[in-house]
Amino acid sequence: MSRRIYGSISNRLKAMAPKIMPEVGMGVTELMWSDRHPYEVIEVKDSTHIIIRELSAERTDHNGMSEIQEYKFSSNLRGAKKPLVFRNGRWRECQWDITYAMDANGRPKKDENGNLIEVSRKPSRRLESSEWYVGQAEKYWDPCF
């Protein structure tokens, strides 16, 4: 059975680009249907496992709803962190295995804001279907959707 190809041709070509050895600080792009979202490598576990964090992106052009877009990127310490693994010739996002603190009755503990308290968080073997390009951070918002 063949794999379905979808989305913009430029995003599909980037997803199939040859692997480069990731380094801390290197840009990473999440490739959506036609949009792109910027990330940066914050940890290299080994040649096939990295942790990335979402970058802040500020649009710097004055083109309005246009396909010609320019952005300025900056590190975002509160940006979402995601584990990526290089498998079957492409970078894929792993899901997290999270262990939560429990009270004496076996219920998850919550902090003062009502959020569950994490004890540990590590990448699992389960993969998401998203596509990634390691080597450059890009942002693109498709004005046609």
Q: Report the distance separating Cα 40 and Cα 93, nearest Å.
A: 14
Distance, in Å, from the CA atom of 20 to the CA atom of 53, rounded to the nearest integer, reads 18
- pLDDT on residue 12: 64
| pLDDT score recorded for residue 88 | 82
- How is residue 89 annotated by DSSP? T
Q: What is the DSSP letter of 75?
A: -
The string of pLDDT tens digits covering residues 3-57 is 555 566 666 666 666 678 899 999 999 988 888 899 999 999 998 899 999 999 9
List pLDDT tens digits, range 84-110.
988 888 888 887 788 889 999 989 899
Smallest Cα–Cα separation from 29: which of 41, 39, 20?
Answer: 39
Among the listed residues 79, 68, 88, 97, the one whose alpha carbon sits nearest the alpha carbon of residue 37: 79
- Give the span between the Cα atoms of 8 and 15, in whole angstroms: 11
